[in-house]
Amino acid sequence: MINGIFKTLHATTMRELKRMVSRPIYFIALVLVMAFCYVFFLTFFDNGQPDKMPIGVVDLDNSSLSRQFVHNVSATQLSKITMRLGSHKEAREEMQRGNIYAFVEIERDFQKKTIANKRPVIGIYTNDAYLVAGSLLSKDLMYMSALSSGAVQRQILRAKGIEESRIMGIIQPIVINTHLIGNPMANYGVYLLNVLLPGVLQLMVLMMTIFSVGVEFKERTSLLWLEQADNSIQLAIIGKLAPYTLVFSLVGMIGNILLYGYMHYPLNAAIGWMFLNTIMLVTASQSVGLLLIGITPVLRDGVTLAAFYGLLGFTFAGFTFPIEQMPPSTRIFSYLFPIRHYFNIYVDQALNGLHIAKSAYSFLALGCFNLLPIIVLSRLKNAALTKVFPIK
């Protein structure tokens, strides 16, 4: 009995393997796409934070004090002065052209007003249409300004005869120590790639599950597929999908190794848990794929559905815009995406290093996706037997 099942599975898998080497699409979708993404994203975000972003300076004063200030600006890590502009209007236009992400404007008589205690104004203009560049630069430039201002303040306070030991307490009475849990350098690669790459994996698994099953209907070979598996739809599915589970899991785990090993992204748990997370993401996505192709056993519709669902996964993972801050009626949908649970496990384990028990529910949820195909088993079998669906 067991032997028989094994033989049937073996035959079904062998049949699928033959298919897989018959057309380039299998190799491309199984291996090349993820390989490209690894190379692309890891080289794209290898710096972690954008530095030396181009900014402009409008120095209308051109005094020794204003030049000193410009010098301080040029020493900041995130920005690089690439343009010196004559007027506010000019600077604004360069910003509209996208040549600079921010500019600093020093008013005429800056030095005179400083010396006369008339509180001159320095304008820091940033562009949040490019939100990342804009907010990083505004933080950086404001911090630098506070330091420069502090130097002036120190002179004023000294002149007023305040003891040196008390000066800092007046310049900055409250100091904030910031601790960034799990990602101390605020590395963008850590923040994005830990979810983006598994998100692409989920998308490809969905696509290939639907393709590998749907193509049998499309090419009217589903009867042969089922016969090979002794007319058992369960065995037919397991035998067919097993090679995909294996390859995608391997590709996914290579991704884990690249992120946590090669890139040294934070990993505060045993890497085995992330491997398990990846494997369960693959099988859960396969199950969703089966559900979709079961609902509509037409390849083209299945692929369209998967595209829709797969792209929404990136939104519903909740790593860019948190789920809790979305409209209440849409929050519940996040549970329907394996990548959401993968994300939760990643946050609890790799990022925050919590006890593994904290992730039990998320693992359970990922596992539950594997029950989904049961709903469509008879429908899939029916489709395989009757072949009544349009092929186009």
Partner 1 sequence: MNNSKHSLSAKDKWFSIFTELHHIIRNEFKTIFKDRGVVIVFIVASLVYPMLYCGLYKNETLVDVPIAVVNASKSEKARAYVRQIDASPDVKVAAKYFNMREAKTAFEAKEVHGIVYIPEDFDKRLNFNEQANLSIYCDMSSFLYYRALMQAANYTALHVGKEVQLERLADKGITGESAEIAAEPISFQNNILFNGGMGFASFLMPVILMLIIHQTLFFGIGMLAGTAREENRFSNLISNSIHRGGALRVVLGKSICYFSMYIVFSFYILYVVPRVFNLPHIGQWMDIATMMLPFLLATIFFSMTVSVFLPNRETGMIIFLFFSLILLFLSGVSWPQSNINGFWKTLSWIFPAVHGIQAYIKINSMGADIQHINYEYINLWILTAVYFLTTIASYKWQINKSELVNS
* 134-153: contacts with partner 1 (CB under 8 A): 134-135, 138-139, 141-142, 145-146, 148-149, 152-153
Choose one: 247-255, 282-290, 325-333, 368-376; the region binding partner 1 (CB under 8 A): 325-333
**One-letter identity of residue 199:** G
Residue 187: φ, ψ to 5°:
-75, 125
Helix axis angle, 271-295 to 233-257, nearest 10°: 140
DSSP state of 102: E
162, 223, 254, 356: which one contacts partner 1 (CB under 8 A)?
162
Please report whether residue 364 would count as binding partner 1 according to CB under 8 A. Answer: no
**Measured from the CB of residue 246, what is the shortest distance to partner 1 in angstroms?**
19
7, 10, 71, 166: which one contacts partner 1 (CB under 8 A)?
166
Strand partners, 53: 79
CB 197 within 8 A of CB 259: yes
Please report whether residue 125 would count as binding partner 1 according to CB under 8 A. Answer: yes
What separation in angstroms does the CA of 267 have from each of 33, 280, 334, 367, 389? 25, 19, 25, 23, 48
Please report whether residue 255 would count as binding partner 1 according to CB under 8 A. Answer: no
Please report whether residue 264 would count as binding partner 1 according to CB under 8 A. Answer: no
∠ at Cα 246 (245, 251), nearest 5°? 100
Choose one: 7-15, 91-99, 235-243, 363-371; the region binding partner 1 (CB under 8 A): 91-99
String of contacts with partner 1 for each residue 274-313, x by CB under 8 A: -------------------------xxx-xx--xx-xxx-
Please report whether residue 357 would count as binding partner 1 according to CB under 8 A. Answer: no
Q: In what helix (H) or strand (E) does residue 106 lie, and over which residues does it extend?
A: strand 102-106
314, 337, 342, 369: which one contacts partner 1 (CB under 8 A)?
314
Which residue, chain included where needed, has tokens 């089966």?
A: 290
Q: For partner 1, which is the closer residue by CB, 235 or 259?
A: 259
**Measured from the CB of residue 235, what is the shortest distance to partner 1 in angstroms?**
26
Q: Quick check: helix, strand or coil at residue 218?
A: helix
173, 272, 332, 371: which one contacts partner 1 (CB under 8 A)?
173
Which strand ranges, in their side-by-side order, compose the sheet holding 53-59? 79-84, 53-59, 102-106
Choose one: 195-203, 243-251, 282-290, 367-375; the region binding partner 1 (CB under 8 A): 195-203
Q: Which of 296, 280, 292, 307 is nearest to 370 (CA)?
A: 280
Which residue, chain included where needed, has tokens 């600077």?
A: 91
58, 70, 200, 274: which one contacts partner 1 (CB under 8 A)?
200
* 24-53: contacts with partner 1 (CB under 8 A): 25, 28-29, 33, 37, 40-41, 43-47, 50-53
15, 92, 240, 381: which one contacts partner 1 (CB under 8 A)?
92
Count of beta carbons in the 10 Å neighbourhood of residue 294: 24
Residues 156 and 76: their CA atoms lie apart, in Å, by 25
* 95-114: contacts with partner 1 (CB under 8 A): 95-98, 101, 114
**One-letter identity of residue 128:** D
211, 273, 309, 342: which one contacts partner 1 (CB under 8 A)?
211
Distance of CA 24 to the CA centre of its chain: 28
Q: How far apart are the first and last CA of the chain?
A: 40
42, 157, 263, 295: which one contacts partner 1 (CB under 8 A)?
157
156, 224, 246, 374: which one contacts partner 1 (CB under 8 A)?
156
**Measured from the CB of residue 226, what is the shortest distance to partner 1 in angstroms?**
22
